[in-house]
Chains A and B, each alone.
Chain A
Amino acid sequence: MGDWWTPTMMPDPSLDTKELSSISGISMSPSRQNLHHSLHSTMALPKTSYSVLSAFCTEENISQCIAYINQEVCSLGLTGVSLESKSGSLSAVPVLNLLYEVLQLQRRAQRALHELETQQLKNGSDLEHLQHSNCRLKDQLEHTRRDNSGLHEGERQLQLKIKTLQNWLKSEKEEVQKLQSIISSRATQYNHDTKRKERECTKLKERLNQLLMDKRDKKLSIEISNHVGRSDGKRGLWKTGKMEARHEGEMYRALLSDYETRQRSLMMENSELKKVLQHMKKDMITILSPKKPCVKTEPANDSLEQAVSEGEEEIGDCSRESLEQSCEQAREQLTNSIRLQWRKLKSHVERLDSQASLVASQEHEGEEMMSRKEHEEEMQRMRMELQQCKEFIHMQQQLLQQQLSSPCDEETAALLNDCYTLEEKERLKEEWRLFNEQKRNFERERKNFTEAAIRLGHERKAFEEDRAAWLKTQFLNMTPFVDRKRPALSEPHNPTKHPTREQPHLMACQYYTGQTLQKRHSIVQTVVIVSLSFIPITA
Chain B
Amino acid sequence: MNFSEVFKQSNQLCKVSPDGKYLATCVQYRLVVRDFNSLQIVHLYTCLDLVMHMEWSSDSLFILCAMYKRGLVQVWSLEQPDWHCKIDEGSIGLVSSRWSPDGRHVLNTTEFNLRVTIWSLCTKSVSYIKYPKACQKGMDFTADGRYMALAERRECKDYISVFVCDNWHLLRHFESETQDLAGLEWSPNGCVLAVWDNCLEYKILLYSLDGRLLSSYSAYEWSLGIKSVAWSPSSQFLAVGSYDEKVRILNHITWKKITEFEHPTTIINTKAVVLKEVEKRPVVGSEDLSIHQLTMDNSLFSTQSKYEITQLPAQVPVIKPDPDRANPKIGISALAISADNRYLATKNDNMPQSLWVWDMLRLGLLAVLEQTAPVRCFVWDPHRPRLALCTGNTKVYLWSPAGCVSVNVPVEGSFQVQSLFWHCSGSSLVLLSKEHICLCYMEAGASCGHT
Instruction: Give chain A's interface residues, CB within 8 Å of chain B.
Output: 179, 181-182, 184-186, 188-193, 200, 203-204, 207, 211, 214, 217-232, 236-237, 239, 243-244, 247-248, 250-252, 254-255, 258, 262, 266, 408-409, 412
* With A204-B112, A255-B209: A188-B324 Cβ-Cβ less than 8 Å: yes
Closest CB of chain B to A254's CB: distance in Å? 6
Q: List residues 193-238 of chain B with CB under 8 A from any CB of chain A.
A: 199-200, 208-210, 222-224
Q: How large is the interface on B (under 10, 10 to 19, 20 to 34, 35 or more residues)?
A: 35 or more
* A189 & B326 in contact (Cβ 8 Å cutoff): yes
Q: What residues on A are CB-neighbors of B77 within 8 Å?
A: 228
Q: Can you list 27 pairs linking A and B with CB atoms under 8 Å apart? A: A179-B222, A185-B223, A186-B200, A188-B324, A188-B325, A189-B199, A207-B112, A214-B91, A217-B91, A218-B88, A218-B90, A220-B89, A220-B92, A220-B117, A222-B87, A227-B121, A227-B124, A228-B104, A228-B121, A228-B122, A230-B104, A231-B103, A231-B104, A236-B167, A243-B169, A251-B164, A252-B210
Closest CB of chain B to A414's CB: distance in Å? 12
Closest CB of chain A to B70's CB: distance in Å? 11
Distance between Cα atoms of A262 and B254 in the complex (Å): 12
Distance between Cα atoms of A227 and B123 in the complex (Å): 7
Closest CB of chain B to A369's CB: distance in Å? 36
Known interface pairs A222-B126, A231-B102; 17 further A-B residue pairs with C-beta atoms within 8 A, sorted by A's residue number: A181-B323, A186-B200, A189-B199, A190-B200, A207-B93, A214-B91, A220-B92, A224-B121, A227-B122, A228-B121, A231-B103, A236-B122, A243-B169, A247-B164, A251-B164, A254-B190, A254-B209
Q: Which of chain A's residues has its CB closest to B142's CB?
A: A254
Q: What residues on B are CB-neighbors of A190 within 8 Å?
A: 200
Q: What residues on A are CB-neighbors of B164 within 8 Å?
A: 247, 250-251
Closest CB of chain B to A269's CB: distance in Å? 10
Distance between Cα atoms of A211 and B222 in the complex (Å): 43
B285 CB–A CB distance under 8 Å: yes
Q: Which of chain A's residues has its CB closest to B164's CB?
A: A247
- Segment among B37-45, B78-86, B424-432, B440-448 that sits at the interface with chain A: B78-86
Q: List residues 57-111 of chain B with CB under 8 A from any CB of chain A.
A: 58-59, 62, 77, 82-93, 102-104, 111
Q: Which of chain B's residues has its CB closest to A216's CB?
A: B91
Q: Which of chain A's residues has its CB closest to B172's CB?
A: A251
* B91 & A218 in contact (Cβ 8 Å cutoff): yes
Q: Which of chain B's residues has its CB closest to A228's CB?
A: B121
Q: Which of chain B's residues has its CB closest to A407's CB?
A: B283
Closest CB of chain A to B227's CB: distance in Å? 12
Q: Which of chain B's residues has its CB closest to A412's CB?
A: B285
* B169 & A220 in contact (Cβ 8 Å cutoff): no
Q: What residues on B are CB-neighbors of A200 within 8 Å?
A: 112
B56 CB–A CB distance under 8 Å: no
Distance between Cα atoms of A239 and B166 in the complex (Å): 11
Closest CB of chain B to A498's CB: distance in Å? 82
Q: What residues on B are CB-neighbors of A247 within 8 Å?
A: 164, 166, 169, 171
Distance between Cα atoms of A218 and B72 in the complex (Å): 13
Q: What residues on B are CB-neighbors of A251 within 8 Å?
A: 147, 164, 171, 209-210
Q: What residues on B are CB-neighbors of A408 within 8 Å?
A: 281, 283
Q: What residues on B are CB-neighbors of A217 within 8 Å?
A: 90-91
Distance between Cα atoms of A239 and B324 in the complex (Å): 53
* With A186-B222, A227-B123: A220-B88 Cβ-Cβ less than 8 Å: yes
B328 CB–A CB distance under 8 Å: yes
Distance between Cα atoms of A46 and B146 in the complex (Å): 149
* A225 & B85 in contact (Cβ 8 Å cutoff): yes
Which of A182, A214, A254 is the most central at the interface, judged by chain B CB atoms within 10 Å of its CB? A254
Q: What residues on B are CB-neighbors of A262 within 8 Å?
A: 252-253
* B169 & A239 in contact (Cβ 8 Å cutoff): yes
B327 CB–A CB distance under 8 Å: yes
Q: What residues on A are CB-neighbors of B82 within 8 Å?
A: 225
* A266 & B253 in contact (Cβ 8 Å cutoff): yes
Q: What residues on A are CB-neighbors of B253 within 8 Å?
A: 262, 266
* A254 & B102 in contact (Cβ 8 Å cutoff): no
* With A220-B90, A228-B121, A237-B167: A182-B111 Cβ-Cβ less than 8 Å: no
Closest CB of chain B to A471's CB: distance in Å? 84
Q: Chain B, 179-197, contact with A by CB distance < 8 Å: what is the 0/1 string? A: 0000000000111000000
Q: Which 7 A-B pairs have the closest CB atoms?
A: A192-B326, A409-B283, A220-B90, A408-B283, A218-B90, A258-B191, A224-B85
* A255 & B124 in contact (Cβ 8 Å cutoff): no
Which of A211, A224, A248, A408 is the most central at the interface, judged by chain B CB atoms within 10 Å of its CB? A224
Distance between Cα atoms of A189 and B227 in the complex (Å): 14
B119 CB–A CB distance under 8 Å: yes
Partner of B167, one of A185, A225, A239: A239
Partner of B169, one of A225, A232, A244: A244
* With A189-B326, A244-B169: A255-B210 Cβ-Cβ less than 8 Å: yes
Distance between Cα atoms of A192 and B224 in the complex (Å): 14
Q: List residues 114-138 of chain B with CB under 8 A from any CB of chain A.
A: 117, 119, 121-124, 126
Q: What residues on A are CB-neighbors of B222 within 8 Å?
A: 179, 182, 186
* A182 & B84 in contact (Cβ 8 Å cutoff): no
Distance between Cα atoms of A225 and B80 in the complex (Å): 11
Distance between Cα atoms of A243 and B168 in the complex (Å): 11
B282 CB–A CB distance under 8 Å: yes
Q: Which of chain B's residues has its CB closest to A236's CB?
A: B123
Closest CB of chain A to B130's CB: distance in Å? 16
Q: Which of chain B's residues has its CB closest to A409's CB?
A: B283
Distance between Cα atoms of A200 and B285 in the complex (Å): 59
Q: What residues on A are CB-neighbors of B326 within 8 Å?
A: 188-189, 191-193
Q: Which of chain A's residues has its CB closest to B85's CB?
A: A224
Distance between Cα atoms of A224 and B171 in the complex (Å): 30
Q: Which of chain A's residues has its CB closest to B93's CB?
A: A207
* B200 & A189 in contact (Cβ 8 Å cutoff): yes
Q: What residues on A are CB-neighbors of B209 within 8 Å?
A: 251, 254-255
